[in-house]
Amino acid sequence: MGRFIAIRLMHALIVLFIVIVLVFLVTRLIPGDAFLVAVAASGVEVDSAKTVKVLEEFYGLNKPFYEQFLIWLVNFVSGDWGESIGTGGDVLEMFLDRCPITLQLFFWATLWQFLIGIPAGVISALKRNSRTDMAITTGALIGFAIPPFWQAIVMIYLFAVLLPIFPPSGYVSFAEDPMGNVMSMALPSMVLGTSGAALLARYVRSSLLEVMSQDFVRTARAKGLGERAVVTLHAMKPAMIPVVTVVGLIWAGLLGGSFILEFVFALPGLGRMTVDAIYQRDFPVIQAMLIIVSLNVLFMNFIVDVLYAYLDPRVRLR
Amino acid sequence: MTAAAQAPPLLQVRDLAVEFGGDGGVVKAVNGVSFDLHRGEIVALVGESGCGKSVTALALLRLVADPPGRITAGSIHFDGEDLLQIPLPLLRDIRGDRIAMIFQEAMNSLNPVHRIGRQIAEPLSLHRAMPMRDALAKAVDLLRSVRIPEALRRSRDYPHQFSGGMQQRAMIAMGMGCEPDIIIADEPTTALDVTIQAQLLELLQQQVVEKQTSILLITHNLGIVARYADRVNVMYAGRIVEQAKAEDIYDRPRHPYTLGLLQSVPRIDQAIGDKLTPIEGQPPDPINPPPGCPFRPRCRFAVTRCDEDIPPLRRLTDSQSIACWVDVDD
């Protein structure tokens, strides 16, 4: 198992390096010039071509491409993520400020997904073709089909306007008001987790159904185990093997989803920061965020691989 | 044997019927099967694939997948109770404890994500209320008794690390754990090579001698039947067509199907150059069986009556019965 994890980590690091190189290249291909935007935004009447040149020299953008890359890479690894061109703030600090908000959103959305998606799938499989099954399957389809921004609007209308249980938008920090924090996270987390929960329910259902028809489940019954023990002790673990793949994909997609929802619910998280940065051609922030996004995907893939190995001994010992 | 024959049978199956329903029609996979199993004997259920022998075995512990299968009639008396009538929780106490099953294709019948030792220990901790640690120790002993080398280390392996023969032996160890009264062995050695077949069957036979276990051996292999079984039930198209002591079946088959089966198997005492005689034709379509005797279309001995009436099982001697209007011995 240790060897397996080490090999997977190596793979992840190699991919990460490739991603970093690509990110650096791609950000330089985005049309538009941050300095022109900044100069225009300042409203000061200057010779823009000249000003841009001065600024380019100041930021080292007149140096050869590979040199820029090396300088940037060394700085990035040592924690100097540069300054935001838009706000002038330290990018790492900006990131660390906003990261907890997005992470909270992730945490609650994931919890919501698992708590709803997995039991729904299990019930649906064990009572296949019943009314409960039909209701769950239909619900899952609807949950998956409705786009999150629309769900968000409907949820705000239902649970913040008609029944004012949750605040419609805004963020309250946990340190200030723990209860208010949880309440402010509730609606966005639910919306963020819904499509994942729907996907999980469907995958858990089909996977468990498949496993329940296997010979070893019959063996478990022949041993005298009750139906509950047959499902929990013998069927669930093998049934989760294909589901883990889907969990990885859902997790990787959460960041994208949170970008939209942070806007709708006015949460000052990473998503808002990134979208703002893209509008302002704020390279340092965009670069950092692209790397964070791919790091997130790589990390989730790594977790999925480890989970695979835990669930399936055939993977672990290969 | 004689003493055992006097005592009431340990397991008494009467008129068992199992149907599989689908949109395409209803298949009567088992159609009125009756047989006895006494303490300390090996009874074989023989027939070609699709004759209903495995379904019969599964039905004994109500393990037929429902849907699509349904046990529609019959009784299975074991220890004074009808296994088809008792509530499921009581049946679960019997499953794996007093009646154990050994399935064919051990590869698929063992759980791929659990260690072998744990799978063997499970019935012990379930039925004997053994702490897991003791049950695991007993599992190692059981593996040793089915001659798995390095049993302690091997008990921590997963099924895919075992060879086919070892998987099947692990299956047998799992079945023997609670020292059941009855072991139902469904093709326990199919797909294994002959030397391993012999080893495994001797292991089972040893159980019968040492612990007075009864074994219901489901197989299509007449060689195994001849060697290990005390009594034989020959099945065809969901019915038992001949019941006899093993030696009688080989010396004096009385049903045309049994005769056909024996003539289609090579024998060591056969003259060189003698041709095997296969049974012509195919088993009947299970959804639309022909009227009358199901073996009629393939039977060399058929008389007109066979077209209309299904022959019931009739007793020829104390120990031999056939379901046929004629008797090929005449």
Using a CB–CB cutoff of 8 Å, tell me whether A224 touches chain B: yes
ipTM of the modeled complex: 0.88
Record: contact B113-A317, CB cut-off 8 A? no
Indicate whether B4 pLDDT > 60.
Answer: no
Report if residue B308 sits inside a domain. Answer: no
B78 vs B10: CA distance, rounded Å: 6
The predicted structure's pLDDT at residue B43: 94
Record: contact B97-A213, CB cut-off 8 A? no
Report if residue B22 sits inside a domain. Answer: yes
A with B: how many residue pairs have Cβ under 8 Å apart? 71
Tokens of A293: 């996004």
**Inter-residue contact A296 to A226 (CB < 8 Å):** no
Report which residue type is found at A189.
Answer: S
Last residue of a domain, one of B156, B179, B202: B179
Record: contact B112-A222, CB cut-off 8 A? no
Nearest Cα to Cα of residue A183 among A168, A166, A196: A166
Tokens of A183: 């309440």
User: What are the pLDDT digits (tens) for B86-133?
Assistant: 999 999 999 999 999 999 888 899 999 999 999 999 999 999 888 999
Domain ranges of chain A: 91-316
User: What are the pLDDT digits (tens) for B245-290?
Assistant: 988 888 888 888 888 888 887 777 777 777 777 787 788 887 888 7
Report if residue B34 sits inside a domain. Answer: yes
For residue B14, the cross-strand partners are B75
Using a CB–CB cutoff of 8 Å, tell me whether A314 touches chain B: yes
Report if residue B293 sits inside a domain. Answer: no
Tokens of B95: 């499953």
Record: contact A237-B89, CB cut-off 8 A? no
The residue among A223, A227, A232, A234 with the most chain B CBs within 10 A of its CB, best to mutate, is: A223
The residue among A213, A217, A219 with the most chain B CBs within 10 A of its CB, best to mutate, is: A219
Indicate whether B3 pLDDT > 60.
Answer: no
Same domain, residue pair B201 and B80? yes
Record: contact B123-A221, CB cut-off 8 A? no
Which positions of chain A have pLDDT values less than 50? none
Record: contact A238-B94, CB cut-off 8 A? no
Record: contact B111-A238, CB cut-off 8 A? yes
Mean pLDDT of B233-254: 89
**Inter-residue contact B10 to B78 (CB < 8 Å):** yes
Last residue of a domain, one of B149, B179, B209: B179
Peptide bond into B68 cis (omega under 30): yes
Same domain, residue pair B119 and B248? no
Same domain, residue pair B94 and B155? no
**Inter-residue contact B98 to B105 (CB < 8 Å):** no
Mean pLDDT of B314-320: 86
Using a CB–CB cutoff of 8 Å, tell me whether A129 touches chain B: no
What are the CA-CA distances from residue A57 to residues A53, A54, A288, B60 (Å)?
A: 6, 5, 22, 87
Using a CB–CB cutoff of 8 Å, tell me whether A214 touches chain B: yes
Contacts of B126 in chain A (CB under 8 A): 223-225
**Inter-residue contact A168 to A249 (CB < 8 Å):** no
Record: contact B113-A218, CB cut-off 8 A? no
Q: What angle do CA B260, B262, B266 make, to 5 degrees?
A: 120
Record: contact B111-A218, CB cut-off 8 A? no
Report if residue B74 sits inside a domain. Answer: yes
Report if residue B300 sits inside a domain. Answer: no
Record: contact B92-A225, CB cut-off 8 A? yes
- φ/ψ of residue B63, rounded to 5: -105, 5
Tokens of B178: 């609670």
Same domain, residue pair B224 and B250? yes
**Inter-residue contact A4 to A309 (CB < 8 Å):** yes
Indicate whether B5 pLDDT > 60.
Answer: no
* Domain A91-316 indexed as CATH 3.20.20.70: no
- φ/ψ of residue B13, rounded to 5: -100, 130
Using a CB–CB cutoff of 8 Å, tell me whether A290 touches chain B: no
A39 vs A18: CA distance, rounded Å: 34
A173 vs A185: CA distance, rounded Å: 10
Using a CB–CB cutoff of 8 Å, tell me whether A219 touches chain B: yes
The predicted structure's pLDDT at residue B281: 79
**Inter-residue contact B183 to B213 (CB < 8 Å):** yes
How would residue B233 be classed by pLDDT, with cut points 50, 70 and 90? Answer: very high
Closest CA–CA distance from residue A136 to any residue of chain B (Å): 21
Closest CA–CA distance from residue A131 to any residue of chain B (Å): 17
- φ/ψ of residue B72, rounded to 5: -100, -20
Nearest CB to B113: which of A221, A224, A238? A238
Same domain, residue pair B18 and B123? no
Closest CA–CA distance from residue B261 to any residue of chain A (Å): 30
Last residue of a domain, one of B179, B214, B229: B179
Same domain, residue pair B186 and B270? yes
Contacts of A213 in chain B (CB under 8 A): 65
Closest CA–CA distance from residue B292 to any residue of chain A (Å): 36
CB count within 10 Å of CB A307 equals 18
User: What are the pLDDT digits (tens) for B9-50?
Assistant: 899 999 999 998 877 788 888 888 999 999 999 999 998 888
A141 vs A162: CA distance, rounded Å: 26
Same domain, residue pair B233 and B141? no
How would residue B142 be classed by pLDDT, with cut points 50, 70 and 90? Answer: very high
Same domain, residue pair B185 and B90? yes
Using a CB–CB cutoff of 8 Å, tell me whether A318 touches chain B: no
**Inter-residue contact B155 to B169 (CB < 8 Å):** no
Report if residue B303 sits inside a domain. Answer: no
In A, minimum Cα distance to B124 occurs at A223
Record: contact A219-B110, CB cut-off 8 A? yes
Tokens of A257: 């989803």
Runs of H (alpha helix) within A213-282: 215-222, 227-229, 236-264, 270-279
Same domain, residue pair B197 and B224? yes
Nearest CB to A215: which of B97, B108, B161? B108
Closest CA–CA distance from residue A224 to any residue of chain B (Å): 4
User: What are the pLDDT digits (tens) for B163-216?
Assistant: 888 999 899 999 988 899 999 999 888 777 888 888 888 888 988 998 899 999
Record: contact A222-B89, CB cut-off 8 A? no
Same domain, residue pair B253 and B139? no
Contacts of A231 in chain B (CB under 8 A): none
Q: What SS3 class is residue A209?
A: helix
B106 vs A312: CA distance, rounded Å: 18
The predicted structure's pLDDT at residue B113: 92
For residue B101, the cross-strand partners are B184
Closest CA–CA distance from residue A12 to any residue of chain B (Å): 26
Peptide bond into B253 cis (omega under 30): no
Contacts of A216 in chain B (CB under 8 A): 108-112
Mean pLDDT of B301-327: 85
Identify residues of B whose CB sits under 8 angstroms from chain A CBs: 58, 61, 63, 65, 89, 92-97, 100-101, 103, 105, 108-114, 122-123, 126-127, 158, 160-161, 174
**Residues B218-254: b if buried by 16+ CB within 10 A, e if exposed:** bbbbbebbbebbbbbbbbbbbbbbbbbbbebbbeebb
A152 vs A167: CA distance, rounded Å: 12
Nearest CB to B95: which of A216, A223, A312? A223
**Inter-residue contact B311 to B304 (CB < 8 Å):** no
How many domains, in total, are found in chain B? Answer: 2
The predicted structure's pLDDT at residue B295: 87
Report if residue B1 sits inside a domain. Answer: no
Tokens of A234: 């013998």
Same domain, residue pair B152 and B200? no
Query: For residue B231, what are the domain limits?
Result: 7-98+181-280
